[in-house]
A and B are shown apart, each in its own frame.
Chain A
Amino acid sequence: MTERAHLAVVGAGPAGLAGALAAADRGVRVTLVDAAEQAGGQFYRQPARALGARRPEALHHQWRTWERLRDGVDRHIAAGRITHLTDHHVWCVERKPGRAEHGQDPIVAPESGSFTVHALRGSAQEEGVAVRADAVLLATGGYERVLPFPGWTLPGVVTAGGAQAMLKGGLVLPGRTVVVAGTGPLLLPVATGLAAAGARVAALVESADPRALLRRAPAFAAEPGKLAEGAWYAGKLLRHGVRTLSRHIVVEAHGTDRLEAVTIATVDRSGRIRPGSARRIPCDTLAVGHGMLPHTDLAETLGCTLSEADRTAVRVDDEQRTDVPEVWAAGETTGIGGAALARAEGHIAGRSIAARLCGTAPDPRSWAAAARARTRLRTFFTALEAAYAPPAGWVERLTDDTVVCRCEEVTAGAVRTAAGSLGACDLRTVKLLTRAGMGWCQGRMCAPAVAGLTGCPLTAGRRPFARPVPLGVLAGLPDD
């Protein structure tokens, strides 16, 4: 391998760390770029160093796996094979078209070092930094989907993962009495984490029907490790005295300037609220989530194709390659499936990258175990996703005056009008007519709701940049 072979990994979560490790083990020089102060991503988010946590594992699951990953990466950092750029927010990855693509010299392959990873350094995010690399591994993970309901913009209503992130990173709780609600496996670690840290978790409100899980029992039985994990969380919840209510939803969050209570109710299979089942639970925090969505913006600006099944994840082949040459993707950016799947994908990507950068075809047999884990876990999560689908009828329950786009304060009524009398039939048109998705978050928060309300397909946002970029940074870029 040439001395210059150089991989840029964006994202230091389970996928990016496994990828960096596998590539560096095989001699590739790696620059790991991540927005956080420390490696770990969402699953292994670490408390800030200055907080001096002597038992951070109390907030974690699978700490030993983390230690192995961390120690491996640290060894490479010490040896100078991995450079970890913390606090670097990547806003764009640029691919210099190879000469072959210009049509000038069709024989010459694209030059090495053909990627520039543009990042903003530091928390102020005003200073631009550029990293050149021969290949890129996108491991940017995902973010939580929350479907709107009346009251969801009140302070005290937070995403379930957000509450978890603030707890793990800052050792703080959002309030004293918490309701954890929505749907999906993430609610379990969140409820147990908050309870262990001293919050009173008044209820875990899950909209899914346990029978939907049972119907997929064969798919789940193939993954005993995951079942054990589920049982472990269930035991924890029991020990903390947390009530779990399934087939229940949060109908409304109440309060004037902050959350004071939620109303929950039982839903039937068609999503109708059972008459007389509504109940009010006083609480100062609602941690809510309805599954996750992959981060795809960097992949999109590079021109990577998104998967056909749902147009929200980066499409990869068996080696975790995207359809853009020298760009790999791993972890939840390629589809939601948890930390173990992210690690397996990262591992495969790292090995593939090491071989390909060397100019050889990799031998898939060398990652057979990871590939088997990947297949199993993907099957498992497909079944899980079906069982934890957002509750039927959520669109009809959305009142016209409920804010859907949190940034631009666009209501469900306005979105309905755009799709109805104004005839908008794609998210872009709805955006132009209503401003839904035009604000700071660029539709990341409201797109699933707007898609549900209008019947438009949920497509990725086509954002020019992954982060807002100061004009000074853009103006300072060399033009070549």
Chain B
Amino acid sequence: MNPLELARARPGEAFTVTFDGRPVTALPGQTVAAALWAAGVTAWRSTRGAGRPRGVFCGIGVCFDCLVTVNGRANQRACLIPVHPGDVIRTQEGTGR
């Protein structure tokens, strides 16, 4: 069983995005974080101070731990923004600027 089967989901057609240059398959409707989780990726940011990896923590837009760079724009909350075909997702280093 997986979540899609459990909810008997018939998602729209899957598409490809890239994460740090490698192709990742995503489903329409998913957030960037959900697409990365589905691809087995759990970290996409390194902290400003110690350079430690981070990913989703609160999952609802409160903690800002999941910041990521999408199509050149830094500081996007991966748990909130929807993923789009062709998105170029990059690990955000520090403040991303």
**Which of B8, B53, B59, B80 interacts with A163 by CB under 8 Å?**
B59
CB of A197 to closest CB in B, whole Å: 4
**Which of A50, A154, A156 interacts with B27 by CB under 8 Å?**
A50
> Interface of chain A, helix or strand or loop or mixed?
loop
* A18 at interface, CB cutoff 8 A: no
Q: Are the C-beta atoms of A158 and B56 separated by less than 8 Å?
A: yes
Q: Are the C-beta atoms of B58 and A167 separated by less than 8 Å?
A: no
Query: B30 to chain A: which residues have CB within 8 Å?
Result: 48, 51, 170-172
- Chain A interfacial residues counted at CB < 8 A: 55
> Interface of chain B, helix or strand or loop or mixed?
loop
Residues B22-81 near A (CB distance < 8 A): 27-31, 33-34, 37-38, 42-43, 47-50, 52-65, 67, 73, 79-81
Q: Are the C-beta atoms of B7 and A173 separated by less than 8 Å?
A: no
Query: A161 to chain B: which residues have CB within 8 Å?
Result: 58-60
Q: Are the C-beta atoms of B55 and A155 separated by less than 8 Å?
A: yes
Per-residue CB contact flags for chain A residues 322-352 toward chain B (1 = under 8 Å, else 0) read 0000000000000000000000000000000
Chain B's interface size range is: 35 or more
**A161–B30 Cα gap in the complex (Å)?**
18
Query: B6 to chain A: which residues have CB within 8 Å?
Result: 55, 58-59, 171, 196-198
Chain B residues with a Cβ under 8 A of chain A = 1-12, 27-31, 33-34, 37-38, 42-43, 47-50, 52-65, 67, 73, 79-82
Query: A231 to chain B: which residues have CB within 8 Å?
Result: none
7 contacts between A and B (CB under 8 A): A48-B30, A163-B59, A170-B38, A174-B42, A197-B2, A197-B6, A407-B65
* A397 at interface, CB cutoff 8 A: no
The list of the 5 closest CB pairs from A to B, nearest first, reads: A162-B59, A170-B34, A48-B29, A50-B29, A440-B64
Query: A159 to chain B: which residues have CB within 8 Å?
Result: 57-59
CB of A227 to closest CB in B, whole Å: 27
Per-residue CB contact flags for chain A residues 410-450 toward chain B (1 = under 8 Å, else 0) read 00000000000000000000000000000111001100000
